[in-house]
Amino acid sequence: MSIVVVGMSHKTAPLSIREKICFSSGSFGQDLKPFEELRKVQGVEEGLILSTCNRVEICAAIKDSGKDHGQDRARAIQNLSNFLKNYHECPHLDFSSYLYCHEGKEAIHHTFRVASSLDSLVVGEPQILGQVKEAYRASQQARALGPMLHRFFNRAFFVAKRVRTETEIGSQSISVGSVAVQLCQKIFKELMNKNILLIGAGEMVEVILEHLIQKKIQSFYIANRSQESVLQLQKRFKHHNILVHTVPFHELGQWLFKMDVVLASTRCPQFILTQSMMEKAIQQRRQHPIFFIDISVPRNIDPSIHNVDNVYLYNIDDLQSIVKENMKYREQEALKAEQIVQEEVDKFYEKMRHRNTWQSACA
């Protein structure tokens, strides 16, 4: 049995490609269909799907059949690539140049780095480990996870914990959410008197809220399909004495003209805000500018709003330049983390190699 990883990330593919094959369900526990379909892929014994705003990848355990194990891996990798196309109904899309494929020790190294946030857009951010664990639980629930990947991902979690404990890679707050707030502050030197609308009520919006509160912002507008999620968010932040105005989701178009900044992060698979909505809002604002930051994948704000005068839109890929400015402090800690990962890769690979040798001898 060997491990392969097939996927794409912010390093290999633009947002316009990534969003075509992302698995938009926020909780795989509510939609196990992708995992159930993955189990049917020929050559795949076990599998896990990781889908975040910056990456979509499949980790699979492949059964090697004696002398032809190289061909077995090649076929399985091709089948996994086809699965991504066919599941998302884009069989004619050629994204081979965007895909990465890792086998054996390289796959182990890649996954340990991902779990430890060394391959993230924001190196050291804490969200990715939770996302990997969520994918792990969903894979278990769908019975797509077997003994090989069970051991593998538990080791990946251990490695991520070592990196967090033994380095200061996450000591300074640099996340996609914090960078989004930093961008807002670059646009407006003073945010206190600005109307800020948050679309969504998930983990990323919670992170953005935390950073806005640190900037002494005390009033927000929030729109979300689920009112229950908004109420839960309000409860978590009630001790900050902030004022949260709820905007009915179906009335977003009627509220836009009041906003100076709009940050969107939802799991909605289509555009929530369109060009026609922007044109109406900017006319009502008498051409006073509005700034939008869309960190959703797939995107929630139609990119064509760039054509509207005095409307400015940034997406998650636009945040990368700001991230690079903030990463200098973490470079040394990242080097320490890479050493930990390499040490753990060597250990796990040797254990796996000896286990496979023993199983072959007993076959």
User: Is omega for the bond preceding 298 within 30 degrees of 0, making it cis?
Assistant: yes
Residue type, 307: N
| Active-site position among 53, 59, 101, 184 | 53
Residues in the chain: 363
Please check whether residue 330 is in contact with residue 174, taking contact to mean a CB–CB distance below 8 angstroms: yes
Q: Residues with Cβ < 8 Å from 66, sequence gap 6 or more?
A: none
Q: Are strands 2-9 and 55-62 parallel, antiparallel or unpaired?
A: antiparallel
Rounded Cα distance, 5 and 308, in Å: 41
Rounded Cα distance, 28 and 48, in Å: 11
Instruction: Check if 53 is active-site.
Output: yes
Please check whether residue 8 is in contact with residue 95, taking contact to mean a CB–CB distance below 8 angstroms: yes
Q: Residues with Cβ < 8 Å from 42, sequence gap 6 or more?
A: 75, 76, 79
Rounded Cα distance, 237 and 118, in Å: 30
CA atoms within 13 A on the CB side of 341: 27
Rounded Cα distance, 202 and 27, in Å: 11
Rounded Cα distance, 139 and 150, in Å: 10
Q: Residues with Cβ < 8 Å from 222, sequence gap 6 or more?
A: 197, 198, 199, 201, 205, 230, 233, 244, 245, 246, 247
Distance of CA 264 to the CA centre of its chain: 14
Active-site positions?
A: 53
